[in-house]
Structures are given as structure tokens and as C-alpha cells.
Amino acid sequence: MIKADKYFLDNLQEIYNNGVTDTHGKVRPAYKSDGAPAHTKYITFVNESYDLSKNEFPISTLRPLAKKMAIGEILAFYQDQTNDIEVMKSKYNLHWWKDWDVGNNKIGIRYGETVRRYDLLNQLLETLNNDMFSRRKILNLWQEQDFIDDPKGLKPCFYMTNWEVRVIDGDVYLDLHLTSRSSDYSVAGNINRFQYVALQMMIAKHFGFKLGKFSVFTSNLHYYLRHEDQVKELLSRKPSDKQPILKLNVPDGTNFYDIRIDDFELVNFDCDYPQLSFDLGI
């Protein structure tokens, strides 16, 4: 069994068997279908670690993967640096953000707008270019001022990345650690990990670095209680024995802002299972 599927099944089983619920108090999310409180079952402080240089990609084979939309979201946030739902929909076919419209076809000062507001991506590129051994290569979407200026927006779930480089036999390897306060694991866990590997690949290509480690820390790993039937279905599925590999087919040194969705290729992804339907908590 590949590492991504083992993590996915083990973590999902751990939530199912030993997770606790938040049914003892008030919760913010509500189900899209009827507005009822969207309670969860969860575990805390979960770590996952992969070595991309050994083709350990965090891509589970237990669900179909919306590859283009996942990468499109990364491009919207880090290339276009936008919070405009219409741009995300027309340019990348992203429809899921419409449920978080704060009233002006925007998602608030969040994600892409935060990247633009604080010039986060360009600062990261500049640091990697001029001081790559700095231990301050942090891209942080959790900016309290944004929440004060625009309190209606959904606060970022996967909110911080730490970047490191290692030089081995003259080759520079780029490592990424991703931090999440909250992960709706059965719905979006596979997408979130996949798309941040795509971001890591884009930055590695920009500099001609090799891919190194990818790790994820999640503070609250959960599924919504109405999704328990889907969780049981996922736990019953047999994973593929093939390791999916994501490739970025552009030359080393390609500018980060010139990379497009179609430059990515997903190979060895073998999933014959149907997509699942979820009553979303929003």
C-alpha cells in the first residue's frame, strides 16, 4: 500500500474509532442543505511526512481527484493573488467558493488577497534567491488585520508554509512543511495535500531545485457527522498498488508566474471508484 493511502485509511479509521465530537456546544459551520449545525468527529495534532524525491506523493487512490481545479485554486491564490469568485470560476472552473461569498462576489480579505496584500509570494521567492539558508522562509495566510478589516470571510484552513533547502552532492532540494488548523479530511484532504505539492513543484522549477520533503501538520482532523456513511464507504475501498506521480513538464528556471495548469501531468493515478456526494458544512 502506498504511503498516502495508508495515512488516509489509518487517520480516517482513527477518527471513526477514537475521535471525539463537538456536539457539547455551539459550532460555526452549518449544513448547506438545511442550515442545521454541522458537528464533527475529530482527532488532534496529526502529522504526515513524504519524500517526494522518492516519489512518495500525497495522492490517495481511494477517491477521484479534481486535478485541474485543485491546481487552479493554487494559481488563483498565488499567481493571480485574487479573492474574486468570478475570476476563479471563469479562469479555473472553480465553483466551490460561491458558498463563501461575503456579498460582493469576493471571499473577503483571504487567501489570494492576503498573498497580494502582504506580497507574500514575491518575498518568499526573493528570500530563496538571495538568502536560501535563511530560517525565516515562512508564508503565513493567518493575518489578524485581515480578519479585522473584513470579518465576514472564511478564515484560512491550510494557513502556513515553512520552506527549507538542503544541498546534497551539489543538488539543492526544496522541502515544504504545511500547517493546517482544520482539515475536512473525507471531503478535501486529498485535494489540499495534492495542490500544495503542486505549489512546491512550481517554486522548485522556478529555481531549478529538486523536490525534497513534504510534510503536513493538522491541528484538527475531522469529518462531519452527516458524512459517516461516506466515511464507511471510503474505509471499505481497496487502494491501488500504483504510486501516483505528479509531473511538471516545464524546463528548470521557468518563471513561477508563467506556469499553467496544463503544464502538470498526473501519471499512474488508478481509481475506478465513483465520486462521493457530501452535504457540505459551510
Rounded to whole angstroms, how far apart are CA atoms 52 and 31?
Answer: 36
Rounded to whole angstroms, how far apart are CA atoms 268 and 243?
Answer: 6
Q: Is position 157 annotated as part of the catalytic site?
A: yes
> What are the C-alpha distances in Å from 147 to residues 108, 138, 150?
9, 20, 5
Answer positive or negative: Cα dihedral of 31, 34, 39, 42: negative
Which is catalytic among the residues 157, 225, 235, 276?
A: 157
Q: How many CB atoms lie within 10 A of CB 242?
A: 13
Rounded to whole angstroms, how far apart are CA atoms 280 and 18?
Answer: 23
Rounded to whole angstroms, how far apart are CA atoms 91 and 70?
Answer: 13
Strands of 126-190 (E only): list them. 138-140, 158-168, 171-184
Pairing of strands 210-224, 245-248: unpaired
CB 262 within 8 A of CB 253: no
Cell of 73: 485554486
- Residues labelled catalytic: 157
